[in-house]
């Protein structure tokens, strides 16, 4: 079995200060270190895109890297992880495939000049994948970023809402997306004074729970615990952030393991 990861972290370092983020590059490195040290990936099988030293996380560079992943011809038993930390947004749906009328998009470093990458673009790519695939998106409005048919949301700590949001047939029944917030919500990063680093709240909880389970946990259990922690954190706050799990099948069977 082959394990491959594409990890993207964009702080918009070389762009207008008003658009810059603080913790995305740091989180990308944390995810990279985790998959190598704890999930058994080799350095050669981890593709890292950040704008740490140069403005290279453009729309074209992301699309080119995804094309390179296709060329690997990953098989059914192989595993692919795609992690994204950066700006997200929502735009009006133009092809009528969204239940609530808006598409989720991610914003490459050159989005002002060259535009976004939409959930429709990501869905087309996912239709061509045959391996087990896990998307992790720590970005605003990322809820249904993969346009997968089934969604799972904890409305309260113990109330799981399961909904089929679109009639679409997926040949690959092992595609999953963990998103940091609903399509209508923003995702938050915080500054840690001791570490002198900023990081995404969702990414930090994802890593914390993985470590607490010694990097061996079913995705539904992982999602449940992230949801409960975020619910506790934001229950008395105006900055509510509700994670969402999407799946190409009714029963999510992915297990994150070493």
pLDDT recorded at residue 141: 94
Per-residue pLDDT, averaged over 222-236, amounts to 85
Beta bridge partners of 72: none
Both tokens assigned to 79: 């595993």
User: Would residue 87 show up in a list of annotated catalytic residues for this protein?
Assistant: yes
pLDDT digits (tens, 9 = 90+) for 149-164: 999 999 877 899 999 9
Per-residue pLDDT, averaged over 116-130, amounts to 94
pLDDT recorded at residue 96: 65
Longest dimension (CA), the chain: 48
pLDDT recorded at residue 240: 82
Alpha helices of the chain — where are they, by DSSP H? 24-38, 59-71, 111-114, 119-127, 201-212, 219-234
Give the count of beta carbons closer than 10 Å to the beta carbon of residue 72: 13
- Rounded Cα distance between 110 and 95, Å, is 25
- Rounded Cα distance between 61 and 49, Å, is 9
pLDDT digits (tens, 9 = 90+) for 196-228: 999 999 999 999 999 999 999 999 999 999 999
pLDDT digits (tens, 9 = 90+) for 18-61: 999 999 999 999 999 999 999 999 999 999 999 999 999 999 99
Selected from 3.90.1150.10, 3.30.70.2740, 3.40.50.12660, 3.40.710.10, the CATH number assigned to the domain covering 3-256 reads 3.40.50.12660
Please pick, among 87, 123, 141, 174, the residue that the annotation labels catalytic: 87
Between the alpha carbon of residue 143 and those of residues 43, 46, 99, 131, 236, the distances in Å are 30, 25, 13, 22, 22
Contacts of 93 (CB under 8 A, 6+ apart): 101, 102, 103
In terms of C-beta density within 10 A (0-12 exposed, 13-18 middle, 19 or more buried), how is residue 160 classed? Answer: middle
pLDDT recorded at residue 80: 97
Between the alpha carbon of residue 118 and those of residues 11, 48, 101, the distances in Å are 19, 20, 14
More confident residue, 70 or 133: 133
CA 45, 49, 50 angle in degrees (round to 5)? 140
Domain boundaries along the sequence of the chain: 3-256
Please pick, among 24, 123, 140, 141, the residue that the annotation labels catalytic: 140
The reported pTM is 0.96
């Amino acid at each position: 079995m082959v394990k491959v990861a594409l990890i993207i972290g964009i702080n918009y370092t070389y762009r207008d200060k008003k658009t810059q983020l603080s913790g995305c590059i740091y989180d990308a490195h944390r995810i990279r270190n985790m998959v190598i040290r704890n999930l058994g990936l080799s350095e050669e099988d981890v593709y890292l895109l950040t704008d740490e030293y140069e403005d290279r996380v453009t729309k074209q560079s992301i699309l080119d890297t995804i094309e390179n992943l296709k060329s690997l011809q990953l098989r059914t038993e192989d595993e692919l992880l795609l992690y994204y930390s950066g700006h997200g947004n929502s735009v009006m749906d133009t092809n009528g495939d969204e239940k609530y009328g808006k598409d989720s998009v991610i914003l490459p470093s050159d989005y002002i000049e060259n535009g976004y990458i939409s959930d429709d673009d990501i869905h087309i790519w996912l239709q061509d994948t045959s391996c087990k695939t896990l998307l992790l998106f720590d970005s605003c409005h990322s809820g249904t970023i993969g346009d997968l048919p089934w969604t799972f949301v904890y409305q309260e700590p113990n109330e799981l809402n399961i909904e089929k949001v679109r009639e679409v047939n997926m040949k690959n029944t092992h595609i999953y997306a963990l998103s940091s917030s609903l399509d209508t919500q923003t995702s938050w990063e915080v500054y840690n004074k001791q570490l002198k680093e900023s990081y995404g709240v969702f990414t930090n909880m994802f890593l914390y729970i993985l470590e607490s389970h010694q990097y061996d946990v079913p995705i539904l259990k992982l999602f449940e615990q992230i949801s409960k922690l975020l619910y506790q954190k934001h229950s008395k706050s105006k900055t509510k952030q509700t994670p969402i799990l999407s799946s190409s099948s009714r029963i999510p069977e992915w297990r994150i393991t070493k």
